């Protein structure tokens, strides 16, 4: 019987590490494989010597020399939890996943011992989590009956480099936490076959070269059927597959992660016991309780925010455009990533675009095998619900010429939801290379833009899902993580991680404003109460006059009065945005106003009678002064005929350390 020899199917043909008590020379090892030439292929750099692991050129297996080969587990991304992952990549290494973290083109689970293996001996394997507990992965029940032990023909009657079966599964137990997975299994050796009779096999000392040395071959004379397998023979754990079988090839074992597999989980395979037909333990052949790692679950596949947009809203244009774009990389024309040119905000006229950049990344050997034709869904929204009234649309994947990508407008939930192929979204080119993709938020240039006002997060990209299709067998949720990078232009390295960046996963855009912001939550306009009211004094230390405006919320004054009690304003409701005060704050001077001045300013801007100025009103206001934050100071007081009491003033501090933005 011939077996498919290629890259290991996920779980690798993998391996234990060292033996237990009896024989330190019995080894089960996960090892390989780097895509190198036979002349440099030694020991650990295996197991297969040819770059082409298909049937055209028979690749030979590197021996698990006891001194040179160490256990080398495969890292698998947790995004594949619940997946049956087949890493048999044939002749194309990247079908292990387009985001393979290394060039490991093959990985093999191999066994060798310096003691002969009797016919009908049984090998008892245990899959565990590294601490003898139940593993979050393993071989699936649906695959276990196809698992075989094979040996590679080196001479005799058979065709060199082909593989023949020498053992198959006799029994297994089911993982107690996942009925789809195997917890342990038994393989029985069978040499009473015509495929074994008359053959010689490669042993553990084979160096992977195309020249076969005499000491590479065991036994010295062709093996006879029903005889023990010779000492130092190298065996491989494989999967018999009618679809993938072919001359000179084998199909490595296919494993799977459980639905609950997560970063840090490990999957180990131990050869805990070998017995003969009489049930006598053959201690020289088993590796005991030594932990032998096959898979480590990692957190590698993700959509990384490589350039967060920390964009400043311009107050002198009534908050309808951006004062600038981010720092260096949006104020010069550059080309980075895969020919995506940065938006040139400083010379862009209306300055309406806030641009972030994202890119796929993987730090695992095995990730998703995604293609540019796969579809991805996404949602961009403001986490704390700040107003999006000034936003025209969001475009994912627009290039430097202003074309392409997927453009979406807000839904009723004020979310920007969309989907497109990875090529359309600018994340991959036609050859499936990863690209930096732009995420552009475009202002409409008419309505006011609002800065981040609550928690450190602002615009957040979430709901990123790669949809089923192609080699993706089910929808996959993709995490979005913070990861601003450095870019080299000429000999200069520019750091994209600026002082305003928010190092929180998912955040793509953070909007500030070019002025001082402060809140007064407790002011009054009391025209019917003589001697009662509120007064605010703003000091401007900057050597230039500064405009002042306010976002105002009003409610009828009175203890226990509800927001709508006696409220008879038009459809604009009780919130008024961008109310301009009648005077500037003079350079190095002060401006004093009261609560009634704020009510009158509303009527001046929104029309006479918008608010009945003869009534008593409670006022909450967020003030914006067009001067540097540290040059503006404010004080507020509530007064009565008997005296005055200070009213709170909260400043926008941009201090994210304690999560409190207004202090």
pLDDT (tens digit per residue) in 616-629: 999 999 998 877 77
CA–CA separation, 383 and 457 (whole Å): 7
In this structure, the answer to whether residues 478 and 527 fall within a common structural domain is no
Peptide bond into 33 cis (omega under 30): yes
Look at residue 329 in the predicted model and tell me its pLDDT: 36
pLDDT (tens digit per residue) in 420-436: 999 999 998 887 778 88
CA–CA separation, 120 and 612 (whole Å): 98
CATH number at residue 568: 2.60.290.11
- Positive or negative, the Cα torsion across 159, 160, 163, 166? positive
> Domain range spanning residue 479?
302-513
* Number of domains composing the chain: 3
Cβ(466)–Cβ(370) below 8 Å: yes
- Average pLDDT of the chain to the nearest whole number: 77
Cβ(261)–Cβ(178) below 8 Å: no
Cβ(12)–Cβ(272) below 8 Å: no
CA–CA separation, 660 and 410 (whole Å): 28
In this structure, the answer to whether residues 274 and 145 fall within a common structural domain is yes
Asked if residue 602 has pLDDT above 90, the reply is: yes
Over residues 408-420, the mean pLDDT reads: 96
According to the per-residue pLDDT averaged within each range, which of 405-419, 545-559, 566-580 is highest?
Answer: 405-419
For 661, the token pair is: 């933005």
Provide the strand spans (E) within 190-292. 199-202, 217-223, 235-239, 255-257, 266-275
Q: Does 79 reside within a domain?
A: yes
CA–CA separation, 60 and 166 (whole Å): 18
CA-to-CA dists, residue 362 to 70, 226, 305, angstroms: 25, 49, 13
pLDDT (tens digit per residue) in 153-184: 888 887 777 778 899 999 999 999 999 999 99
Look at residue 351 in the predicted model and tell me its pLDDT: 75
In this structure, the answer to whether residues 321 and 344 fall within a common structural domain is yes
Phi, psi of 596 (to 5 degrees): -65, -30
For 266, the token pair is: 């490990």
| Residue 596: burial class (beta carbons within 10 Å; 0-12, 13-18, 19+) | middle
CA–CA separation, 645 and 642 (whole Å): 10
In this structure, the answer to whether residues 85 and 138 fall within a common structural domain is yes
Look at residue 487 in the predicted model and tell me its pLDDT: 60
In this structure, the answer to whether residues 111 and 189 fall within a common structural domain is yes
Cβ(331)–Cβ(498) below 8 Å: no
Weakest-pLDDT range from 138-147, 348-357, 479-488: 348-357
Look at residue 659 in the predicted model and tell me its pLDDT: 54
In this structure, the answer to whether residues 156 and 251 fall within a common structural domain is yes
In this structure, the answer to whether residues 59 and 181 fall within a common structural domain is yes
Q: How confident is the model at residue 14 (pLDDT cuts 50, 70, 90)?
A: very low
Asked if residue 284 has pLDDT above 80, the reply is: yes
Cβ(236)–Cβ(150) below 8 Å: yes
**Of 366 and 437, the one with more pLDDT:** 437
Q: How confident is the model at residue 656 (pLDDT cuts 50, 70, 90)?
A: low
Q: Does 129 reside within a domain?
A: yes
Q: Does 13 reside within a domain?
A: no
Q: How confident is the model at residue 348 (pLDDT cuts 50, 70, 90)?
A: very low
Over residues 377-402, the mean pLDDT reads: 91
For 50, the token pair is: 């040819």
Cβ(152)–Cβ(229) below 8 Å: no
Look at residue 481 in the predicted model and tell me its pLDDT: 92
For 402, the token pair is: 């202003």
Q: Does 106 reside within a domain?
A: yes
CA-to-CA dists, residue 340 to 352, 481, 516, angstroms: 19, 21, 35
Residues contacting residue 34 through CB under 8 Å, at least 6 positions apart: 45, 102, 103, 104, 105
pLDDT (tens digit per residue) in 200-235: 988 887 766 656 677 778 888 899 999 999 998 988
Domain's final residue, options 240, 272, 298: 298
State the residue for tokens 């009908």.
120
CA–CA separation, 77 and 367 (whole Å): 5
In this structure, the answer to whether residues 77 and 194 fall within a common structural domain is yes
In this structure, the answer to whether residues 509 and 520 fall within a common structural domain is no
> What region does 117 belong to: left with phi over 0, alpha with psi -120 to 50, or beta?
beta
Over residues 2-19, the mean pLDDT reads: 31
Q: Does 359 reside within a domain?
A: yes
Q: Is 78 helix (H, G, I), strand (E, B) or coil?
A: helix
pLDDT (tens digit per residue) in 237-282: 887 654 334 444 556 677 889 999 998 999 999 888 899 999 899 8
In this structure, the answer to whether residues 142 and 89 fall within a common structural domain is yes
Q: Does 19 reside within a domain?
A: no
In this structure, the answer to whether residues 541 and 628 fall within a common structural domain is yes
H and E: helices and strands count for the chain: 2, 41
pLDDT (tens digit per residue) in 490-544: 565 656 766 678 889 999 998 888 778 899 998 999 988 888 889 999 999 887 7
Look at residue 493 in the predicted model and tell me its pLDDT: 60
**What percent of the chain lies above the pLDDT cut of 70?**
73
Q: How confident is the model at residue 601 (pLDDT cuts 50, 70, 90)?
A: very high
CA-to-CA dists, residue 58 to 48, 52, 161, 208, 233, angstroms: 9, 8, 6, 12, 19
Q: How confident is the model at residue 459 (pLDDT cuts 50, 70, 90)?
A: very high
Question: Please, what's the largest Cα pairwise distance for the chain?
Answer: 116
Look at residue 85 in the predicted model and tell me its pLDDT: 60
Q: How confident is the model at residue 283 (pLDDT cuts 50, 70, 90)?
A: confident
| Cα radius of gyration (the chain) | 35
Q: Does 261 reside within a domain?
A: yes
- Kindly give the pairing relationship between strand 293-298 and strand 137-138: unpaired
Provide the strand spans (E) within 467-581. 476-477, 480-482, 486-489, 492-495, 507-513, 516-525, 533-540, 548-556, 575-580
589: part of which helix (H) or strand (E)?
strand 589-594
Q: Does 386 reside within a domain?
A: yes
According to the per-residue pLDDT averaged within each range, which of 336-345, 360-369, 395-404 is highest?
Answer: 395-404
Phi, psi of 288 (to 5 degrees): 70, -145
Over residues 38-47, the mean pLDDT reads: 32
Cβ(485)–Cβ(496) below 8 Å: yes
pLDDT (tens digit per residue) in 630-646: 888 999 999 988 888 89
Cβ–Cβ contacts within 10 Å for residue 157, how many? 12
| Residues present in the chain in total | 663
Asked if residue 561 has pLDDT above 70, the reply is: no
Look at residue 61 in the predicted model and tell me its pLDDT: 55
CA-to-CA dists, residue 26 to 15, 23, 153, angstroms: 12, 6, 21
Cβ(587)–Cβ(628) below 8 Å: no
CA-to-CA dists, residue 560 to 141, 556, 557, 564, 639, angstroms: 67, 10, 9, 11, 20
Domain's final residue, options 279, 298, 317: 298
What does the buried/exposed string (b/e) look like for 383-415 if buried means 16 or more CB atoms within 10 Å of the residue's CB? beebbbebbbebbbbbebeeebbbbbebeeeeb
| Residue 238: burial class (beta carbons within 10 Å; 0-12, 13-18, 19+) | buried
Domain's final residue, options 256, 280, 298: 298
Q: How confident is the model at residue 452 (pLDDT cuts 50, 70, 90)?
A: confident
CA–CA separation, 546 and 128 (whole Å): 69
In this structure, the answer to whether residues 164 and 145 fall within a common structural domain is yes
For 488, the token pair is: 């080299």
Look at residue 107 in the predicted model and tell me its pLDDT: 65
């Amino acid at each position: 019987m011939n077996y498919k020899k290629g890259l290991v199917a996920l779980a690798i043909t993998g391996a234990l590490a060292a033996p237990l008590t009896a024989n330190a020379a019995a080894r089960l090892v996960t090892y390989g494989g780097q895509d190198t030439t036979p002349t440099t292929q030694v020991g650990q750099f295996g197991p297969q010597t040819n770059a082409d692991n298909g049937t055209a050129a028979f690749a030979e297996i590197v021996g698990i020399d006891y001194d040179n080969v160490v256990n080398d587990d495969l890292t698998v991304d947790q995004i594949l939890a619940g997946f049956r992952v087949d890493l048999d990549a044939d002749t194309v290494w990247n079908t292990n996943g387009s985001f393979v973290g290394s060039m490991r083109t093959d990985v093999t689970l191999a066994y060798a011992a310096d003691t002969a293996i009797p016919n009908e001996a049984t090998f008892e394997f245990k899959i565990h989590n590294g601490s003898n507990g139940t593993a979050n992965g393993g071989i699936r029940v649906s695959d276990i009956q196809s698992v075989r032990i094979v040996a590679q023909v080196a001479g005799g009657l058979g065709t060199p480099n082909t593989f023949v079966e020498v053992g198959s599964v006799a029994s297994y137990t089911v993982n107690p936490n996942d009925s789809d997975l195997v917890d342990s299994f038994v393989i029985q050796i069978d040499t009473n076959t015509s495929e074994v009779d008359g053959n010689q096999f490669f042993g553990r000392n084979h160096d992977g070269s195309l020249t076969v040395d005499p000491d590479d071959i065991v036994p010295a004379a062709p093996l006879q059927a029903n005889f023990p397998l010779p000492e130092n023979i190298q065996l491989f754990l494989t999967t018999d597959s009618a679809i993938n079988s072919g001359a000179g090839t084998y199909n490595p074992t296919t494993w799977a992660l459980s639905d609950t597999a997560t970063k840090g989980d490990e999957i180990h395979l131990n050869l805990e016991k070998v017995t003969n037909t009489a049930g006598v333990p053959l201690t020289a052949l088993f590796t005991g309780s030594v932990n032998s790692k096959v898979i480590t679950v990692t957190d590698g596949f993700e959509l990384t925010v490589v350039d967060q947009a920390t964009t400043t809203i311009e107050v002198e244009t009534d908050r309808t455009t951006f004062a600038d774009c981010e720092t260096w990389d949006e104020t010069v024309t550059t080309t980075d990533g895969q020919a995506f040119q940065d938006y040139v905000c400083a010379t862009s006229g209306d300055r309406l675009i806030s641009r972030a950049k994202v890119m796929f990344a993987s730090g695992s050997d095995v990730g998703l095998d995604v293609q540019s034709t796969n579809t991805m869904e996404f949602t961009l929204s403001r986490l704390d619900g700040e107003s999006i009234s000034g936003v025209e649309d969001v475009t994912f994947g627009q290039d430097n010429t202003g074309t392409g990508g997927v453009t979406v407008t807000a839904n009723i939930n004020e979310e920007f939801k969309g989907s497109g192929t990875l090529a359309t979204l600018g994340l991959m080119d036609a050859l499936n290379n990863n690209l930096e993709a732009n995420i552009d938020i475009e202002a409409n240039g008419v309505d006011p833009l609002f800065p981040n006002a609550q928690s450190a997060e602002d615009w957040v990209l979430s709901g990123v899902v790669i949809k089923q299709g192609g080699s993706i067998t089910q929808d996959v949720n993709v995490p979005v993580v913070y990861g601003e990078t450095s870019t080299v232009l000429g000999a200069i390295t520019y750091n994209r991680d600026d002082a305003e960046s928010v190092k929180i996963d998912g955040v793509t855009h953070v909007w500030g404003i070019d002025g001082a912001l402060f809140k007064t939550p407790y002011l009054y306009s009391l025209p019917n109460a003589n001697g009662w009211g509120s007064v605010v004094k703003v000091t401007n230390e900057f050597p230039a006059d500064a405009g002042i405006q306010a976002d105002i919320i009003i409610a009828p004054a009175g203890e226990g009065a509800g927001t709508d009690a006696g409220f008879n304003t038009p459809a604009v409701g009780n919130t008024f945005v961008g109310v301009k005060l009648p005077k500037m704050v003079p350079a190095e001077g002060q401006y004093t106003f009261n609560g009634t001045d704020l009510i009158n300013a509303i009527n001046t801007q929104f029309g006479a009678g918008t608010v009945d100025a003869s009534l008593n009103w409670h006022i909450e206001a967020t003030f914006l002064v067009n001067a540097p934050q540290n040059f503006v100071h404010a004080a507020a007081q509530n007064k009565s005929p008997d005296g005055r009491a200070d009213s709170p003033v909260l400043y926008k501090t941009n201090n994210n350390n304690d999560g409190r933005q207004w202090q």
